[in-house]
């Protein structure tokens, strides 16, 4: 198995799951359909290429939340909106939600390492513009993630589960690394939330209806996807020198052993 690692960092992101015209929602982490759509744009795959979309969707995906975002919303006024008969144009107000100040490590796992190299090349030199849910939500830094400079490559031979628990923390905001910790509610997190594709028959899985089958206009279709929501510890090995110098705490050795015991099921 090989895993392609991506950094999703932007002031605003939007990952809709049940959006309608008047209300556009967002999940609190990237959806499978959103990630596949981004990859399809980078590769130059058209919306009606169902087989290629399904092939991308077959990759096993995992997300690690390196910085939890804040869900915000705003209102948009749309003019000349017709009714279902194409008549009676009117002005409509829509409510749109987005995720502010979020940071994600996204991994894609497959046995076809050549495919991951094709994706890496496409993300480095995209055929069409890539963005996080809306055209205005562009990446704040390169999407292929190599972790700390000179230490890791975007494609690794580690499994998806292992790499989510060991890859360097992507946080790089001084205000986060040095935030005031005098109050209990300001205490920094020492666990990072993960959402990973799982066997539908396994225990403790959730269903997300975001596995894309087709992106055709007016004919978009999706299938359910089973995921396991868990947490990985923020260990000293994952902390950058900048974060360590800022005094960012990590789990105690006892807590790390407890997490490993729970993960191994022993």
Q: Which residue has the higher pLDDT, 83 or 203?
A: 203
**Best CA proximity match to 227, nearest among 204, 250, 243:** 204
Residue spans of the domains in the chain: they are 2-71+97-264
Looking at the domain 2-71+97-264, which fold is it? Alpha-Beta Plaits (3.30.70)
pLDDT digits (tens, 9 = 90+) for 102-112: 999 999 999 99
pLDDT at 156: 93
Is the pLDDT at 7 greater than 80? The verdict is: yes
| Structure confidence by residue, pLDDT tens digits, 141-150 | 999 976 544 4
Nearest to 212 by CA among 62, 23, 13, 50: 50
Q: State pTM to two decimals.
A: 0.82
* pLDDT value at 193 more than 90: yes
| Contact assessment for residue 66 and residue 192, using Cβ atoms and an 8 Å cutoff | yes
Q: Which residue has the tokens 């279709």?
A: 221
Q: How far is CA 204 from CA 5, 19, 84, 200, 226, in A?
A: 25, 27, 43, 10, 10
Q: How confident is the model at residue 240 (pLDDT cuts 50, 70, 90)?
A: low
- SS3 of the chain: CEEEEEEEEEEEECCCCCCCCCEECCCCCCCHHHHHHHHHHHHCCCCCCHHHHHHHHCCEEEEEEEECCEEEEEEEEEEEECCCCCCCCEEEEEEEEEEEEEEEEEEEEECCHHHHHHHHHHHHCCCCCCCCCCCCCCCCCCCECCCCCCCCCCEECCCHHHHHHHCCCCCCCHHHHCCCCCCHHHCCCCEEEEEEECCCCCCCCEEEEEEEEECCCCCCEEEEEEEEEEEEECCHHHCCHHHHHCCCCCCCHHHHHHHHHHHHCC
Distances 183 to 101, 159, 186, 241, 243 between C-alpha atoms, Å: 22, 38, 5, 25, 19
């Amino acid at each position: 198995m090989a895993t392609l690692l991506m950094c999703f960092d932007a002031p605003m992101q939007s990952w809709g799951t049940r959006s309608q015209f008047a209300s556009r929602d967002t999940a609190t982490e990237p959806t499978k359909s959103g990630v596949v759509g981004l990859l399809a744009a980078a590769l130059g795959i058209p919306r009606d290429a169902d087989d290629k979309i399904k092939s991308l969707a077959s990759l096993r995906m995992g997300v690690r939340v390196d910085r939890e975002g804040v869900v915000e919303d705003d209102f948009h006024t749309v003019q000349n909106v017709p009714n279902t008969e194409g008549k009676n144009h009117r002005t409509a107000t829509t409510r749109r939600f987005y995720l502010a100040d979020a940071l994600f490590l996204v991994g894609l796992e497959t046995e076809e390492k050549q495919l991951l190299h094709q994706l890496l090349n496409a993300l480095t030199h995209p055929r069409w513009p890539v963005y996080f849910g809306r055209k205005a939500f562009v990446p704040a830094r390169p999407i292929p993630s190599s972790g700390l400079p000179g230490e890791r490559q975007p494609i690794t031979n580690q499994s998806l589960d292992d790499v989510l628990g060991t890859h360097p923390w992507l946080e790089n905001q001084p205000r986060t690394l040095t935030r005031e910790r005098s109050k209990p509610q300001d205490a920094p997190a020492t666990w990072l939330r993960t959402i990973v594709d799982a066997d539908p028959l396994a225990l403790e899985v959730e269903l997300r209806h975001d596995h894309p089958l087709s992106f055709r206009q007016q004919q978009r279709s999706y299938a359910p996807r089973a995921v396991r929501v868990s947490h990985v510890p923020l260990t000293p090995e994952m902390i950058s020198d900048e974060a360590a110098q800022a005094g960012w705490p990590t789990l105690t050795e006892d807590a790390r052993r407890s997490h490993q015991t729970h993960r191994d099921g022993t």
